[in-house]
Chain A
Amino acid sequence: MNVTYLDAIREAQAKALAQDDRVFLYGQDIAGFGGAFKATKRLAEEFPGRVLDSPISEDAMVGLAIGAAIDGMRPIIEMQFADFSSIAFNQIVNQAGTHYYRTGVPVPFVIRLPSGGNKGSGPFHSQSLESLYAHFPGLVVLMPATVEDAYTMLLDAVSLDDPVIFCEHKMLYYHLKAEKLPEEGLPIGKARIARAGTHATVVTAGAMLHEALKAANQLAEEAWDIEVVDLRSAKPIDTDTLLASVARTGRILCVAESFPWGGLNAEVIARVVGEGFHLLDAPPMRLNSRDTPIPYHPNLWAAHRPTAASITTALRKLLGF
C-alpha cells in the first residue's frame, strides 16, 4: 500500500468519526465535494449527517465549533486555506484561546489549516500561520511533517481536551508517501530527531523538514554530519530535545517557512540562548521566508522561502564560524 500525507489526513478523520460519536466535520465544500484538496473524500457518504458544508463564514465556523465543543462535541473544522483563518482570528484567539482559562470549561476542537506555499499560489493561498497562533495562550499548534505524523497527530489532536491548530502542509499532500499508516506515534509536544548528527543542529518543522534533510544529505557528501530536529509541535516547544541536540552539536540553525519577524524561529533561539548559552560554539542562526507577501511567480517564490540550497549555504556559514 502507498499512503500519501493527504490520505493520512483523510484516514485519520475517518477513524476519528468511526471511533467517536462526538466528532463531526464542518467546512467549505467538504461534504459531497470532498473538500478543495479532497481531504474529506467520501466521508459524507460514510458518515451521513456528520460532514457538513458551511457557508463562507470562517468566523462563524469557528464560533460554531467552540459552541459545539462546550456542549461536549469534538468538531474538526477545515479551513479551505490557512490564509482564510485570518477571518476567524477573533474566534480562535479570543474565544477559543481564553475559554478554559476564564471559565474552567475546555473547548476541544481541531482547526485544520492547509498551510504553506506551492508554485503559483501567491500571497493569499500560501501562508504559514503557526507563529501567529502560537503567540496566543490557550492553543496547541501542531505541524506534522510526515505521513505518519499527519495521521497520528491528527488523531491525537481530536482526543486532546484543548483547541488545536493543525498546520498541515499543502506541498506534502500528494508527494509524501509512506508504506502504511502507523499504530501510534510520538506524543503531542515531543520533537523528533529526524536525522542524527554531531556538527550542527537544524531545527525545523512541516515541509521545511524535507528541505533541511536534503541540505543535510548534501553536506554529508562533504563529511559534515548535520542533526535535524523535527519540532512537530510549534506550541508547546520541546525545549529539552532542542537543548540536548545543541549540547551535542554546539551550533543551531532554525528554519521556518513563516515570515521572519518574531515567530517560531525567534522563540526557539530565545530558549536555546536563554537556557543553553554555554552550549553554543557559534551564534544561533535563522532562515525564514522574506518579509514580503508571498510572490506568485515560481522564480520569485523559490527565492522567497528557504530551500535546500539556501539552508546549505546558511549551514556552511554556521559551520565556518
Chain B
Amino acid sequence: MGIVGQLDDCRKLEFGEGDRGATYSDFRTSCSEIGCAARKPFFRVTRVSAAKTHRPLSTRATSKNQTIAPHKLYLPTYKWMLLARVLEDKLASLYRSGKIVGGVYLGRGQEAFSAALSVHLDQAGGDVYAPLIRDMAGRLAFGEALIDPMRTYLGSPLGPMRGRDGNIHRGRPREGMLAMISHLGAMVSVVNGVLLARRLRGISGQVGAACVGDGATSTGSFHEAMNQAAVEKLPLVVAVANNQFAYSTPTDRQYACADLVDRAAGYGVMGYRCDGTNLEECLTTFGEAVRRAREGEGPQLVVGTLLRLSGHGEHDDASYVPAAVRKSALAADCIELAGQRILERRWAGEADLATWKSDAVNQVEEVLEQVASEPVPDPTGEAWCSLSVRHLCEGNLGA
C-alpha cells in the first residue's frame, strides 16, 4: 500500500518516505508546486510495489498503532474472523432447519476487511461503530458478546433487541455500537452526530466508524453524510466493502466512476483502497485511516475490494455471479489466506490453528445451547410503547 496522488494529465505524485502526515492539503500544495494547481487533481491510494515506494506502513514506527509487531494484531484479528465464520455457519444451518425466521445475512469472505477496522477501534475509550450486514467479524472484534447475535437471530427477549428487531439489526448504542436500520446509507450521519456531540463536549481523540457496501454508496443518505462529515472535519472512518454486487446488481450498474475511492476527492476526504482478501493489507490500511482520523485529519474513506462468498442472504444462491468472477483472485477466502500466512511466518502452527477453530466451535455451541433454553417473547407482557415517556404513548390504540 502506498499513497499516490494522481493528476488528471496522468502524471503521478508519489509521497516518499517519512510522509506519514501527508494529507489532502499537502497533496494540493505539491500539485501547485509542479504547476497543476488549476487542474482538477484527485488522489488515490493504490497498491504499489514496496520496492517502488516506501516500507510497509505497519513496520514504520511513526505512531502508537504502527509500533505494534504485526502478529500482535494479526493473530487476534484472525481469531475474530474465525469465530465469526464459525458462528455464521451455525446461523446458516439454523436458518436452513427453520429455526431462524426472516433471513440470515453472512459476511463470508469479508471477515478480514470487517475485523481489520474494528480491531483499531477502542470501545472502552469511547469509539463508536456502525456495522452493517456483513460485519459479524467486525462486531465481535469491537466487543460484541457472542451471545448477542445468537439471541437476536433467535429473537430472545434477553438479547439487546428483545425480539423487537432481529438478525443484523442489532446494537448497543450506549456502548458505542449503533443498531443499524435497514435503509442503506442511513447510519453514516448518525455516527457523525455522535462525533459532533463529542466535539461539542470538548472530547477529542475518539473516532467513529461506519460500514457500507458498494450499493449503499449510491444512496443520497450516504452522499449527504460523507459531505457533512467532511464539512465538519469529523473523525469518521468509512469502510466501503466493495464486494462487486449489491444483491444481484453488479458494480457497472451501480456507479460509473473508475473506482469508488475516486469519490474521496469529491468529498474532500482522504481515500484508500486495499485488497479486502488480504488481512495484512486491511490491517495496515485501517491502522493508518483510524490513526489519521484520531489525530484530527478528518474523514477517511477506505474501499476494500473483495467478493461476497455467499448469497445476498441465505435464501439466495447467487447464481448471477459469473463463473469468471467466482474463479478470480477476488474470490479468495481471506480466512484461508490468513491461515496460510500465519503458517508461512511461523506465527503459529497447524495445531494452534486447529485449536482456535475448535475453541470457536465450542463457544458457538455453548451460546446456542444457552439461548435455546431461554424464554421466548411474550406479547402479553409487552409494553407496546414506542416512547420512553410512557404517559404519551398511544401504543394500545389499534388493539
Contact = CB atoms under 8 A, between A and B. Distances in A.
A136 to B, nearest CB: 9
B389 A160 contact: yes
Contacts of A62: 189
A67 interface: yes
Contacts of B225: 57, 59-60, 63
A174 to B, nearest CB: 31
A102 B161 contact: yes
Contact of A138 (B187, B190, B386, B391): B386
A68 B183 contact: no
Interface residues of B, number: 47
A246 B196 CA distance: 49
B191 interface: yes
Interface string A63-75: 1111111111101
B188 A102 contact: no
B394 A236 contact: yes
B231 interface: yes
B392 interface: yes
Interface stretch (B171-179, B270-278, B288-296): B171-179
A98 interface: yes
Interface in B189-216: 189-198, 200
A57 B181 contact: no
Given A55-B227, A101-B164, A71 B197 contact: yes
Interface in A12-33: 24
B52 to A, nearest CB: 39
B228 A54 contact: yes
A64 B388 contact: no
A72 B179 CA distance: 16
B392 A64 contact: no
B192 A64 contact: yes
A59 B162 CA distance: 28
A57 to B, nearest CB: 4
A100 interface: yes
B193 A55 contact: no
Contact of B186 (A69, A91, A161, A237): A91
Given A57-B227, A60-B225, A94-B186, A67 B179 contact: no
Interface in A84-110: 87, 90-91, 94-95, 97-106
A185 interface: no
Contacts of A188: 392
B216 to A, nearest CB: 13
Contacts of B169: 102
A86 to B, nearest CB: 12
B197 A67 contact: yes
A63 B200 contact: no
A168 interface: no
Interface of A: 24, 49-50, 54-55, 57-73, 75, 87, 90-91, 94-95, 97-106, 137-138, 140, 160-162, 188-189, 235-237
A317 B30 CA distance: 78
29 contacts: A55-B227, A57-B224, A57-B225, A57-B227, A57-B228, A58-B224, A59-B224, A59-B225, A60-B225, A61-B228, A64-B196, A67-B197, A68-B200, A91-B189, A95-B183, A95-B186, A95-B190, A98-B181, A103-B160, A103-B161, A103-B171, A103-B172, A104-B162, A105-B173, A137-B386, A160-B389, A162-B387, A236-B393, A236-B394
B395 interface: yes
Contacts of B183: 90, 94-95
A227 to B, nearest CB: 24
B76 interface: no
Interface of B: 128, 160-162, 164-165, 169, 171-174, 178-179, 181-183, 186-198, 200, 220-221, 224-225, 227-228, 231, 385-389, 391-395
Given A71-B197, A100-B387, A102-B165, A64 B173 contact: no
A160 B393 CA distance: 13
A70 B194 contact: yes
A62 to B, nearest CB: 8
Contacts of A87: 220
Contacts of A69: 193
Contacts of A71: 128, 193-194, 197-198
Nearest to A108: B388
Contacts of B388: 100, 106, 161-162
A122 B169 CA distance: 40
Contact of A102 (B179, B220, B385): B179
A90 B197 CA distance: 22
Contact of B193 (A63, A97, A137, A189): A63
Given A24-B200, A70-B173, A98-B181, A140 B221 contact: no
A26 B256 CA distance: 33
Contact of B389 (A24, A102, A104, A162): A162
Given A64-B228, A140-B387, A160-B389, 12 more contacts: A61-B228, A63-B186, A63-B187, A63-B193, A67-B193, A67-B194, A67-B196, A70-B174, A100-B386, A102-B164, A138-B386, A189-B392
Nearest to A98: B181
Contacts of A50: 200
Contact of B188 (A63, A106, A235): A63
B190 A66 contact: yes
Nearest to A63: B189
A95 B181 contact: yes
A262 B22 CA distance: 58
Contacts of A102: 161, 164-165, 169, 179
A97 B393 CA distance: 12
B251 to A, nearest CB: 24
A63 B196 contact: no
Contacts of A137: 386, 395
A138 B387 contact: yes
A235 B394 contact: yes
A67 to B, nearest CB: 2
Contacts of A189: 391-392
Contacts of A55: 224, 227-228, 231
A238 B250 CA distance: 52
A140 B179 contact: no
Nearest to A65: B193
B172 to A, nearest CB: 8
A189 B187 CA distance: 31
A50 B200 CA distance: 8
Nearest to A97: B386
Contacts of B182: 94
